[in-house]
Structure 1
Amino acid sequence: MRHARNIRFDIQGLRAIAVLAVMLYHANNGWLKAGYVGVDIFFVISGFIITALLTERSDKVDLVSFYASRVKRILPAYFVMLVVVCALSAFMFVPDDFAFFLDSLKSSALFTSNQYFSGFGSYFAPRADELPLLHTWSLAIEMQFYLFFPVLVIFLPKQWRLTAFALLAASLFAWSGYRGLGESQDRMYFALSARVPEFMVGAIVALLMRQRELPMLLASVFGGLGAILLAWAVLAIDKQHFPGFWSILPCVAAGLLIAARRGPVSALLATRPMVWIGGISYSLYLWHWPVLAFIRYYTGQYELTAAWLPIFVASSVLLGWLSYRLVETPARNASGMMRQVPKWVVAGTVVVLVAWGGQRINASLVAPLPVELTRYAAPELICHGTQVGACKRGKADAEVSVLVIGDSHAAQLNYFFDQVGEEQGVAYRVLTASSCVPIPGFDFERLPAWAQKPCRAQIEAVAGELPKVERVIIAGMWQYQMQSQAFAKAFAEFLVDTAGAHKHVVVLAQIPMFETDVQRVRRFTEIGLPAPLRFNHEWQTANQQVQAIVDRTPGVRFLDFSNSSFFAAAPYQQGLLIYRDSHHLNEVGASRYGHYAAEQLQRALDQPQPNVSLKP
């Protein structure tokens, strides 16, 4: 299981299992339900390796040698990846997305990205699967662990280490499991405290197996049991309950496989292909996620097509191998730490210069659009997730007579209702929240953590305003909302109750949606990348589902402009871009839409006719 440089081939094979599991999960989370536990396997391996480095060679801990080895192991390939990803992001990303990227770059360079991504939340930020540095959270946790663990080893007497590590692992597993019962799993997932016990499992194995080798039969049993537990972990664990108590399973599995060292499973792990993949696993991990993120940013699709899947695999492996051969290996073999200092200074300077130059390159490649074409409203001037003044739109000197509620597809209509109000002499109160239709019974638990509190606040605000008006307009991204049966039930009940209170209710259909962000398509086209714009047709089915609910509710009207002449040339209208992304109108589009729909919307609100679906 060893070669001339004293590297355990079976552990290299376990690294291969870890990185392949992560890649499968990241490529499509339906392919391997819990492939993300590959990261936990890496943490166990790291705990084993660094404990061996700190304790096996002598009783005295050599901190300088330890940190030098960690710096040479992690930083060179890591900072090369940051530089290349920053340059590509400056080239491809629209300015708003590049601003988010720069924030993540700063945290990644400082190894605090686990904290950054745990609190990351903005409706108009790129999706998580489009963030090219999201995977750096695990490296941040690893570096943070390296800061305190050697100190812990130094101050603990040799005979106390095993007991202390076991107690630390047990208490932190219990703590993270308890916190996971009531705290957002997003925060726990990125928390150092939830990952320290995973390192401790590896540390315990290192201390227990120091200068020991299990009998072949016992080693074979350990290997087989570890393999079974690991297979169970990657196939059965539910991410909603992870890390917490469930993280014990893959960690114990990895610990058993490391302890086994011999036997059929260890021999399988030590085969040449597994060892080769394990050898480049660090660089492969560094590069596979940015490749995926850029593909998804460019295509606007989460699932890789048959054409993009081989590109992802080939690019990831090639970049991982080049990084291993040209960066990792030379850096590891470099001698004389002090002689390397100038190189580290140059590397850090390059990262800073690329980030600084990237901002200028990003802004200069494509002429910026006027702000009214890139947003649907100034966020500080609308009641989207918060209260801003009276939340009044439309005719300034009219009394509010209509309440407008919904998610961002209602928030995008603030300028729409200004236009309609001016033409019809009506004032509206618009209360919205990201991804949330603020009605009683809305299942806000399914929203990201950052969106839940604003959603609850707007539900309360709507409950206070509803008795004051006789007319209600509801708009939403039905394509998203109707995926929830709980929402469909709450929505149907709200319509019945509101119409039963003798209020006039109009439900607006979702506007057409595209596969890709129209602002991105514009940028790709300007910089010479082919970027076809295709409709996403799921919104049509969702509109039909909402219409079915409306049609069986007396007194409620469904108003559908999605197939009207206004959207015939979408995302343009009379030659002007009216969308801000793949499914929201910009300020100009909202105003023009209001002018187009004003008369028919007012007629739908005014006429006390039986429920009917209106399709202009």
Structure 2
Amino acid sequence: MKFRYDINALRALAVIGVILFHFKVPYFEGGFSGVDIFYVISGYLMTKIVIEAILKNTFSFRDFYGKRVKRIIPALLCMIITLLIVDFFILLPGDYQYVSKNATASLLFVSNILYWQSSGYFDPSSELNPLLHTWSLSVEWQFYLILPIILVLLKKVFKFEKKHYLFFFIISTSITFVITCYFTQTKPTASFYLLPTRSWEMIVGGIAYLAEGHLKKFKKGIAYLGYLVLFLSLLLLTTDLSWPGAYTLVPVLATFLIILANQNDFILLQHPVVQFTGKISYSLYLWHWPVFVTANYLGMSAGFTSTVILLIISFSLAYLSFTYVESIRFQSSKYVIVTVIAICTSTFILSYYSFNEFIFKPQTIQISNYTKNHLDERKKQFSSGCCFISTTSEGKTLDKESCLQLQANRQNILLIGDSHAAHLSQSLREHFEKEGIHLNQASASGCLPLINANGRAECVEIINYIYRDYIKTNADLISGVIISGNWLEKINNKEQLISDLRTTIDYLHKLKIKVVIIGQNETYTMPYASIAALEYEHSESLWTNYFNKDSHLLNEVLKKEFKDLYIDIYNSKSIKHLSKDLTPYMSDENHFTKYGADLTVGEIISQKPMKRFLDQHYQGNHINTRAFDTVTKNTL
């Protein structure tokens, strides 16, 4: 095949987009779409290789899979082995076991399935996983396994020619895309990670091969348009969008048009820097995320200087990997497979035993393992699966009987929100019970508690029901509403967040319901339990190195906008970060432990907005029992 400068340039653009997104470089929030560019390229190349061999009667499964093994696995093996050696001396035992488990899944190309199954609020943080990015390699590998089987069967059973394959690919793309859009709304995590809802992107690449030669005019103009759209995608797409879905068509179709146009004579495409980046793109993709996670674990602050340093390290390691690993021509795939088996056996053992435990103090290990050792307590704290419906609460919905039951002759307050309402719910409920106040809870992950909610379908359904049905029907029975959320999700769309919050507040005020907003709490770049453990180990304060500055910025904006309705809980000085019995006040990057929630609720109750909010409860303003009798019969 004639060398395609355009495809190599696409690789360069894709990997740079992903790196800038992962390194949190401003204005490149859409860089995650680089993965989708890679998918289209892979679909094009693999379809071309397989179908051309099938039509020539020269296709061999052994040869195809053998080449994929020799092309993909050595560089991945090298990165994982190096990472495991370095992390042995850096990571806390629990974190090292977590990485070892992920290494096994990555080498077996099932890491996408593992991350889908372990993506809930009570699972280890993805930000702590230096192998998180291997999910996309697993999806590609699974596609490589299935594609030739299907194409060979179509040839043997139905005597397919190239034109028949084109029709089959178009139909397959249409069906899988519709399925993807549905599951992205109903099962977003599964849709993001799994092959069935990602396959259409690679199939589009196959269409680009099968449709070669059909584009006769305006090739240069179409190619220019494609590059422009891809560049704008890196700048304008946001993580708020449902992905994969309708918006995914933008980078996918742009890449499709560029490949179909087949324009290699653009000067910029042939620039040595562009082509070099494209050549090392696979190794660069492999190394950049482990470099970033390791730097984050060591407390390197985000900024221009640190980003430049991380880029230099990533490119250097990628160059070494490309030169001394990727470029090796392995005569047989057997040696590679034997090595994979040996390393997988080792990582499987490492994931079950704390081999590096002797490096750390016993108290350090106790602190770092807090979250893992208190999962049942956390689920009770959140009221998980009952009054808090997360992405992992399969088949469950809000228990209205338990969570929304109004009580006669008592004040009824409603707590509505996402996980940031749920992690305070138990502590708020316990405090209010002492005051004779009944707390109801409606919380779900995947959307913010706003009247114009958007996001995960189950979450939106719950929030819409609460605002448009439950609150409206029971306005005379609800004394007040507490809104709590991880407002940081809208850091890149603050104006819209403020507008939606005002609309929500106005709606409640029109129903004569008091409302307060619990503000944005501080967030960290890695789980606080690990930060507290490292602080104990080294006997020094390290937590400021792991602060997410965006949460402080957003808190200041919201505090200024909502003033008397806003309860500021950001980094409260009254909250001790580690208790006497070595309990951290946060379990992960942004959720309080029960210990931390108790202290935070004390802070919430002491602030003026909450005192004004609760003032009615100490002035004999009792519930309308007649309204209770007539309304509750038809409420639940």
Shorter-chain TM-score tier:
0.7 to 0.9
Q: State the Cα distance separating 1:72 from its structure 2 match.
A: 1.0
Structure 1 SS opposite 2:311: helix
Which residues of 2 match residues 283-294 of structure 1 at below 5 A?
A: 283-294=283-294
1:513 to 507, 519, 522: 522
Q: Which residue is 2:160 aligned to?
A: 160
Which residues of 2 match residues 277-316 of structure 1 at below 5 A?
A: 277-295=277-295, 304-316=302-314
Q: State the Cα distance separating 1:375 from its structure 2 match.
A: 8.1
Distance in 2, matches of 1:597 and 1:486, equals: 23
Q: Which amino acid in the other structure matches residue 226 of structure 1?
A: A
Structure 2 SS opposite 1:588: helix
Q: Which amino acid in the other structure matches residue 429 of structure 1?
A: L
Contact 1:93/1:362 (<8 A) preserved: no
Q: Which residue is 1:334 aligned to?
A: 330
1:135 to 133, 136, 140: 133
Which residues of 2 match residues 414-563 of structure 1 at below 5 A?
A: 414-417=425-428, 420-421=431-432, 424=435, 426-434=436-444, 442-446=451-455, 448=456, 451-452=459-460, 455=463, 463=471, 466=474, 469=477, 471-472=479-480, 474-477=482-485, 479-480=487-488, 483-499=497-513, 505=514, 507=516, 509-510=518-519, 513=522, 515=524, 518-526=528-536, 528=538, 531-533=542-544, 536=552, 538-548=554-564, 550=565, 560=567, 562=569
Which residues of 2 match residues 166-185 of structure 1 at below 5 A?
A: 166-179=166-179, 182-184=182-184
Contact 1:442/1:490 (<8 A) preserved: yes
Structure 1 SS opposite 2:292: helix
1:103-127 Cα shifts (integer Å, max 9, x gaps)? 7555534423444555764345567
Q: Which residue is 2:632 aligned to?
A: none
Q: Which amino acid in the other structure matches residue 61 of structure 2?
A: L
Q: State the Cα distance separating 1:561 from its structure 2 match.
A: 7.2
Structure 1 residues 378 and 83: CA distance shift in structure 2, 3 A: same
Distance in 2, matches of 1:590 and 1:139, equals: 39
Which residues of 2 match residues 63-142 of structure 1 at below 5 A?
A: 63-85=61-83, 105=103, 107-117=105-115, 121-123=119-121, 131-142=129-140
Distance in 2, matches of 1:412 and 1:35, equals: 32
1:276-320 Cα shifts (integer Å, max 9, x gaps)? 22221111111223333444566598xx41122112211211221
**TM-score, normalising length: structure 1:** 0.74
Which residues of 2 match residues 138-149 of structure 1 at below 5 A?
A: 138-149=136-147
Structure 1 residues 384 and 597: CA distance shift in structure 2, 3 A: same
Q: Percent identity?
A: 21
Q: Which residue is 1:553 aligned to?
A: none
Tell which structure's C-alpha radius of gyration is larger: 1
Which residues of 2 match residues 272-421 of structure 1 at below 5 A?
A: 272-295=272-295, 304-330=302-328, 333-357=329-353, 361=357, 366-369=364-367, 378-380=378-380, 382=383, 383-385=387-389, 386-387=398-399, 390=402, 401-407=411-417, 408-417=419-428, 420-421=431-432
Distance in 1, matches of 2:468 and 2:355, equals: 41
Distance in 2, matches of 1:399 and 1:103, equals: 54
**TM-score, normalising length: structure 2:** 0.72
Q: Which residue is 1:604 aligned to?
A: 615
1:567 partnered with 2:573: yes
Q: Which amino acid in the other structure matches residue 319 of structure 2?
A: W
Contact 2:18/2:34 (<8 A) preserved: yes
Over the residues paired in the alignment, what is the CA RMSD in angstroms?
4.8
Structure 1 SS opposite 2:555: helix
Alignment: residue pair count? 570
Q: Which amino acid in the other structure matches residue 23 of structure 1?
A: I
Contact 2:378/2:593 (<8 A) preserved: no
1:556-590 Cα shifts (integer Å, max 9, x gaps)? xx7x57599x7346546899867215655432344
Which residues of 2 match residues 183-202 of structure 1 at below 5 A?
A: 183-184=183-184, 186=188, 188-193=191-196, 195-202=198-205
1:54-110 Cα shifts (integer Å, max 9, x gaps)? 455652212111111101111222233344556667776778877876775555344
Distance in 2, matches of 1:231 and 1:202, equals: 19
Distance in 1, matches of 2:422 and 2:359, equals: 28
Structure 1 SS opposite 2:27: coil
Q: Which residue is 2:630 aligned to?
A: none
Q: Which residue is 1:554 aligned to?
A: none
Q: State the Cα distance separating 1:190 from its structure 2 match.
A: 4.2
